[in-house]
Amino acid sequence: MNKEEVKLNFEPAGPVAITRCERYDAGEIEKVIKAQLESLGISPGFFENKRVVVKPNLIMSTSPERMATTHPAVVEAVLKVINAARPASVTVAESPGGPHQPPLLRAAYNASGIAAVANRCGAALSFDTSTATISLPDGKLSKTFEILAPAAEADVIVNVCKLKTHALTQMTAAAKNLFGLIPGTDKVAMHARFPHPADFSRYLVDLACAVASVCPMLCIVDAVVGMEGNGPTGGTPKPFGCIISGRNPFAVDTLCEYLLRLEGEVVTTADARLRGLCPGGIDGLRIVGDEPASVFRPEQVKHAETKPLNPLTHLPGFLRPKPVVELATCTGCGACAESCPAKAIAIENRKARISYKKCIRCFCCQEMCRFCAVKIHKNFLLRLVK
Ligand code: SF4
Ligand code: SF4
């Protein structure tokens, strides 16, 4: 990345804060975040008189108990910390999967519990479906991005993400959460444009850099309870017992991949390292907090069944894991077909049918199925070697 042409609003060696937090108690989390901002050197002036956009992870319209979305207690704590600094305005903005339409947005805000906390804290919920173009002249895979207009026009973005394993990118935390700034079905087009997970991940690095060039960003990771297994929606809740924050999304993600036991296996972080955007690994991170990060690292974390032997290899189609619809569970709702970039899904007799000739293995169908009817099947040869 040519730093003279693009000013990124974070330091590659910037600090990351991690603090114990085992309960979704908004008051307790507020204290944690306040202390973290102090140790990161972020003063109230960061928010004062600024138009602040808060970007949670609301991947789909679902309840907080599923642990697929940022917990409302974390969003409430973040809003209270921002409010105390007297911002000009605070807006919660997000584009979940599926069409970016006000009724669907309202459903996601309500189901996640975030409508209620925004209301309590006097923050606006964005139903603005307009977009604006941001650019990254030195982007490796993409140089322009159409993102939600409120985020493109913000003075500060607070990226309040959830720590989860992920079937396509292996992990979702700070960098991947910014993909939610791409409106609705435009996300589907990006999956079609970058069908290989490594290319898609490099595109995410470009996107995160473009967002970080618009305005300062603060990343806060809800890792009180995250998700393991076939995330981002089909896994199981996993307590990590901590909150993580920092200005540099890739440094934050370096700590997150360490906690998930995915070091060196997340292409967004590996690519950011190659571009000189973050330290080379956990040992190079400047970590601030009460306890060493190793205290929060679980003994075991289940990864997505799609995890490749090498994240950069292109396996032949017949060897790659594939999505399979469990017909007894499928309701025929069609959400998977709507989100399929390859148009590989047809609804026949109220059941989803996948054409494997067309399927690009992006696992968007698995991600978007609220009934967990899409399972991941691995070839028996892969089962033998893993
Ligand atoms: S697989 Fe899931 S998303 Fe697709 S039609 Fe069936 S229930 Fe709906
Ligand atoms: S069927 Fe599923 S995995 Fe295959 S291209 Fe469509 S959304 Fe992606």
Domain boundaries, the chain: 16-296, 317-385
Max CA pair span of the chain:
58
- Ligand 1: centre distance to CA 40 (Å): 43
- Strand ranges, E, within the chain: 16-20, 51-56, 89-92, 124-125, 131-135, 144-148, 156-166, 170-172, 217-228, 236-246, 287-289, 322-325, 345-348, 351-354, 374-377
- Ligand 2: centre distance to CA 159 (Å): 28
**Overall pTM > 0.85:** yes
Atom 6 of ligand 1: nearest residue by CA position: 330
CA dihedral sign, ordered 70, 71, 72, 74 = negative
Query: Residues 276-290: what's their mean pLDDT?
Result: 94
Q: How confident is the model at residue 378 (pLDDT cuts 50, 70, 90)?
A: confident
Which residue, 326, 319, 318, 360, is CA-closest to 340? 360
Q: How confident is the model at residue 140 (pLDDT cuts 50, 70, 90)?
A: very high
CATH number for the segment(s) 317-385: 3.30.70.20
What separation in angstroms does the CA of 347 have from each of 186, 258, 331, 343? 22, 40, 10, 11
CB 364 within 8 A of CB 191: yes
Q: How confident is the model at residue 350 (pLDDT cuts 50, 70, 90)?
A: very high
| Residue to mutate, 324, 326, 331, ligand 1, most ligand atoms under 8 Å from C-beta | 331
CB 284 within 8 A of CB 335: no
Would you say the CATH fold of 317-385 matches that of 16-296?
A: no
Query: In sequence order, what are the residues at sequence separation of 6 or more whose Cβ sits closer than 8 angstroms to the Cβ of residue 300?
Result: 261
The pLDDT tens digits for 43-75 are 999 999 999 999 999 999 999 999 999 999 999
Amino acid at 257: E
- Ligand 1: centre distance to CA 265 (Å): 30
Q: Please report the pLDDT score of residue 1 as a whole number.
A: 44
The DSSP result for 118-155, as a single string, is HHHHTPEEP----EEEEE-TT-SS-SEEEEEHHHHT-S
> What is the length of the chain?
386
Beta carbon of 363 within 6 Å of any ligand 2 atom: yes
Neighbours of 106 (CB within 10 A): 14
Which CATH superfamily does the domain covering 16-296 fall into?
LarA, N-terminal domain (3.40.50.11440)
